[in-house]
A and B are shown apart, each in its own frame.
Chain A
Amino acid sequence: MSLIRLEKRAAPSRTLAGLTPILAVIATMIAGGIMFAFLGFQPLEAIRTIFWDPLFDPQFGPYSRPQLLVKAGPLILIATGLALGFKAGIWNIGAEGQYIMGAVVGGGVGLAFYPSESGLIFPLMVLAGALGGWAWAMIPATLKTVFGTNEILVSLMLVYVAENILASVSSGLLRNPDGQGFPGSRNLARDYPAASNPELIANTGMHWGVVAAFIAVIFAYVLMTRHKMGFAIRLAGDAPRAARFAGVSPSRLILFCLGTAGALAGLAGLFEVTGPAGQITIDFNSGYGFTAIIVAFLGRLHPIGILFAGLLMALTYIGGELAQLMLGMPAAAIQLFQGMLLFFLLAMDVFANYRVRIGTPEVTT
């Protein structure tokens, strides 16, 4: 007989569900601050460096603010697609692989036409990028619909296959012929104007990938609230049996959700490789596909939530880098700090789903 009990709510509290991300950020600041203090840093200074300096520091702000969009763009684009599946109970864990394949296929199409100056090259690459990601996601989707395989395992394993393909083409098929034998493709952003994805307005960080992310958010929002497919997705997630009775085809949902997520991840890869990264290299992927899973949940699987979650995640990355640089903080401390954010978010969910009762349970008669 404990004094504090958790009592399941009939329905999750909507107010608390909305509030938990903010509470989680505050809890992270407190627990993180304590950790920083133990590591010998000024906690307030550390928190300020991570959350405030990238935005408002006169020295770094003008550069970091646009970088927030650069960093958040691919996260939002991928997370928006993933959230559709997650809502319906379809677990695509392999966005990282779809991201790689989008970059490889899209970049490869562009490189095949080098040194063309045609204005059609970039749109063609965008299409090929989306197609590459889509096709890679279709493998787990098809295997699941035809053979009933587990999409979590298949999509995750395909990440490692994609990484090996990336390593192979970087040092073989797509290697820069003028690169003196070093791996890595031509620099699409610097040496191939027709294939580059530059900043659309100088010093804003706004490139086509960021634009695509905003469009994807709007589309996902409309889809989820106004379209029959959005209804089917929500129904399948909340009540799979009811969905089947309502005539929602599980196979169609799987193909749609995995396919869309794959295409968006492929686009993110294409925009990244033609813009901020510039080159197809062995280490081109830097975990966006996995981080996007966190972003999707941090944003409550809601398009608008994901938009903010992506920006917040980008802020902790860039702020974390500044903390390393200015305060000499170890990289591992920053990763711990980011881990705390996810931990607290999931932990706070308890309060949305359960009521905290103090005292002994009432005796029902």
Chain B
Amino acid sequence: MKSISIKNNQQIPFDSIPVLEYEQFLDYNTSLLHIKDNHCVNYYGIPQKGKIKLICCVANDKEGLIKISSAEVSPQTTLESFSQHHLAFEKFEREIYENFGIHFINHPWLKPVRYPVNQSDKNNTISNYPFFKIESEELHEVGVGPIHAGIIEPGHFRFICNGEQILHLEIQLGYQHRGIENLFLQKKKLIELHTLAENISGDAVVGHTTAFVNLWETLCNQETDADLNFARTLASEIERVAIHTGDLSGICTDIGFQLGSAVFGRLRTPIINFFQQWCGNRLAKSLIRAGKTNFPFTAELGETLKTVLDNFEPDFNEMCLVTFGTPTVLARFEKTGMVSNEIGKSIGLVGMAARMTNINRDIRASHSYNNYATLAHQPILKHHGDVYSRAQIRREEVKQSLAYIRQLIASIPSENLNRKSLPKPSPNVFALSLVEGWRGEICHCAITNDTGDLQHYKIKDPSFHNWLALALAVRNNEISDFPISNKSFDMSYSGHDL
């Protein structure tokens, strides 16, 4: 057996993961990715007794299973790369290279990812990133960031332009690196781990915290109570509505469409204010806890939410009709920042960014968790892979989420008053949790030691896969279309840099 198949949120003994020879490991995983329904959800290394254990997790979306395999290699060694066979591994291999000094042969661009504190080459600093260069008198470079003109997170964009046209964009990240994965091991109290999970990416609080608590309950071998499953599903869909609406506002801002910018912007307010009414925080920090809740969802809250949605929906629909019916808006949306289906598949896009180019990838449908099995989710797919598709997908996903929310609050489960307290996590186990945040697939993996404490914690934000898509999307676009392309992807910097 070359791998062990597990379901989303299932724990297995860590030593039950087959250990392959590296050549076999490479053959096995790269050939898995040539099958249409498979994609890599995580590939990373952990230091173990002077060796590096590489763990590769490939999900099959049809069977709803994740195939876990591993290999043991030495640090600072040289290996054939996965990326030469399938580009979707490129970022994962760069991360392994950066953390452990493993050189991958035939990797297209073996460059640092985020300049972490525990990087293998301590002399590397973020100021000496090796950018691609073109020697030409006709071309010029444009550098943007790390600090951007708006109120957003930092990252550096280096364009190589021919006049106004972008030939190449290279995105350098790492400015946000806070060492969060190490803090998961350093901090011992459960409340500290919750706080860390809530701070991974501030616009996907529900997504990341749900991934963490589902994983933690799996490690503890405790089934999730019905009311907790309900609350997490509900919160996840509210978050999707809120951020998608805010993003539509941002997209309108970036093309100078003032009405859409103002109206979508203000429409987000009652949705995030509802989070405040529920848990006291507009972005749902403090709402989700493993094995308990401090803020049970009451029938009264259900009524309030229903009123909020009843007011929101007609305004949202009206604004969408005008936005998507205005020729000057459409002229900026259509055929801007395109990613083809082939490119999307080859770089392993996930989430909304995959679905905009007709890749049917949605964890809610393929690896369901919490209450998604009962919602029978059907992913919304678009075909053009441009700004228009990304805006449309938001419009339709908002509509879909509103229907889910209404369906959910029609039968609110009563609060479990005899909640069992959480036991300690099982010793020496591996578990993986997948969640479809509004941006896409969030993956948290954990390994426990002999005493049931965390030995390793790995976080993967959907942006980790998707940043490359932005760099490819803007090629041959006017540089003035960059902001709208960027906003329509709306990737996370902190979720990437960790």
| A and B are interacting partners | no
Which B positions have Cβ atoms within 8 angstroms of A?
A: none
